[in-house]
Amino acid sequence: MHSHRGPIGLAFSGGLDTSYCVPRLADAGWEVHTVHVDTGGSSSADLAAIRAQAEQVGAFRHHEVDARAEVYDRFVRFLIQGNVLRGEVYPLSVAAERTQQALSVVETARRIGARAVAHGSTGAGNDQVRFDVALRVLASDLEIVTPIRDEGIKRDQAIAFLTARGLPVPAKAGAYSINRGLWGTTWGGGWTHDTWAGPPDELLEPRVTAPAPREIVIQWERGLAVALGGEALSGPALIQRLGEIADSYAIGRNIHVGETALGIKGRIGFEAGAALLLIGAHRELEKLVLTKWQAFWKDQLARFYGDRLHEGQYFDPSLRDIEALITSSQARVTGETRVRLAAGRFNVVGTRSPHSMMDSSVATYGEENRLWTGEEARAFARVAAVPSLLAARAANGVPQKLQHEGTKNTKVTKKSHNKRR
């Protein structure tokens, strides 16, 4: 019999690993408080099932935290405004949620007087780093307990442990690890470990029953979507609604291979239709209202921002500086985007904004100019070629005689002048 070690707050998803942690921590003498942080993607039935799972595997008390608004306000807004896609395809569906889960678990741990916090991450993935960094920054006085990582528990061992005690094994606890949240759903395990293996058909193939193609209009204010089809919605509600629409068309399904926080390569399948639709539409609206260098520098820094967030380094002060720049850059990203949806794909087919920089009174691309003359355009193009022309001369190693179009006339004028003398 272990001595009583006091309350511990366990980040609880209801999946296999965290279900294993409850009785394992109880065996070690902890009073286990499961903390489920709802970061989106869960129905009321899902939340009830997670609560039932926690109670059935022996939680002392189960706590639910609705953190959807916090995930959106603290993380997702900058991922949209920054057009953040890791590896040009993946919208960081998990990274932001893990950091918020750590924040919420610490808040709950403080409230219940816990001496420690726990999570069910393995020693091979990104989540352990995201949790540990956040927990050390926010609660360095609390012990971090990680049974799965410390004991090297594999999925079949966790299943055997629960089964031997007559405790419920979560559904779909075998080959796959599935994470569903506000910003998308990811699949790990099984086929994802073989880079030549394709996913199950249902991941990538559009449904036969997909609705007929249609168009939707998204309204934007300062770089954030505020209404869908004229209906004003909060950020999380708009994402949920858009996600349901995208899901009906099987939009947003793909595979991502990239770097992990530990330096190894990782591969996942994901479905994030709302994220991809919003980022795609936002990018097109930005093209209309931002200058070239505003967009360039904002996206460069946003890419760095996404990288740091992905690797669990949200608390680095440089990210607050980047958030300030991103916010400043979005002052005129207001307007509407028209998006056409069809089975398995979408296209941004229209954008408009009161701040549009596409002004037909100045020029029409490829057709007509009003602000400058043809001669001025010729001069601009000639000067624009100078750096590359000089580089080409230097690379060839052969000096070329460069002659200004007006040189010949200038020389004639000089000779005439000398003759008159």
**76-111 pLDDT, tens digit each:** 999 999 999 999 999 998 888 889 999 999 999 999
Higher pLDDT, 103 or 403: 103
| Sequence-distant (≥ 6) Cβ neighbours of residue 123 within 8 angstroms | 148, 149, 152
Higher pLDDT, 39 or 180: 39
Question: CA-to-CA distance for 273 and 92, rounded, in angstroms?
Answer: 13
pLDDT at 194 > cutoff 60 = yes
pLDDT per residue over 213-256, tens digit each?
Answer: 999 999 999 999 999 999 999 999 999 999 999 999 999 999 99
pLDDT at 406 > cutoff 80 = no
pLDDT per residue over 26-84, tens digit each?
Answer: 999 999 999 999 999 888 999 999 999 999 999 999 999 999 999 999 999 999 999 99
- Backbone CA torsion sign across 281, 282, 288, 294: negative
pTM of the model: 0.88
Number of Cβ atoms within 10 Å of the Cβ of 258: 15
Rounded mean pLDDT, 197-211: 77
Number of Cβ atoms within 10 Å of the Cβ of 236: 20
What confidence category does residue 329 fall into, taking pLDDT thresholds of 50, 70 and 90? Answer: very high
pLDDT at 166 > cutoff 50 = yes
Rounded mean pLDDT, 148-175: 87
Q: Which pLDDT does position 363 carry in this prediction? A: 58
Residues in the chain: 421
Rounded mean pLDDT, 157-178: 83
Q: Which pLDDT does position 236 carry in this prediction? A: 96
| CA distances for 176 relative to 101, 249, 334, angstroms | 21, 24, 41
pLDDT at 413 > cutoff 60 = no
| Nearest CA among 226, 220, 270, 223 for reference residue 246 | 270
Rounded mean pLDDT, 181-192: 86
pLDDT at 174 > cutoff 90 = no
pLDDT per residue over 373-399, tens digit each?
Answer: 889 889 999 999 999 999 998 888 866
pLDDT at 419 > cutoff 80 = no
pLDDT per residue over 255-306, tens digit each?
Answer: 999 888 778 888 988 999 999 999 999 999 999 999 999 999 999 999 999 9
Q: Which pLDDT does position 356 carry in this prediction? A: 95
Rounded mean pLDDT, 180-203: 85
pLDDT per residue over 134-159, tens digit each?
Answer: 999 999 999 999 999 999 999 899 99
Q: Are 169 and 20 in contact (CB under 8 A)?
A: no
| Nearest CA among 89, 81, 90, 69 for reference residue 281 | 81
Rounded mean pLDDT, 187-211: 80
244 phi and psi angles, rounded to 5 deg: -65, -40
Q: Which pLDDT does position 275 carry in this prediction? A: 97
Q: Which pLDDT does position 4 carry in this prediction? A: 80
Q: Which pLDDT does position 124 carry in this prediction? A: 75
Q: Which pLDDT does position 365 carry in this prediction? A: 64
Q: Which pLDDT does position 420 carry in this prediction? A: 46
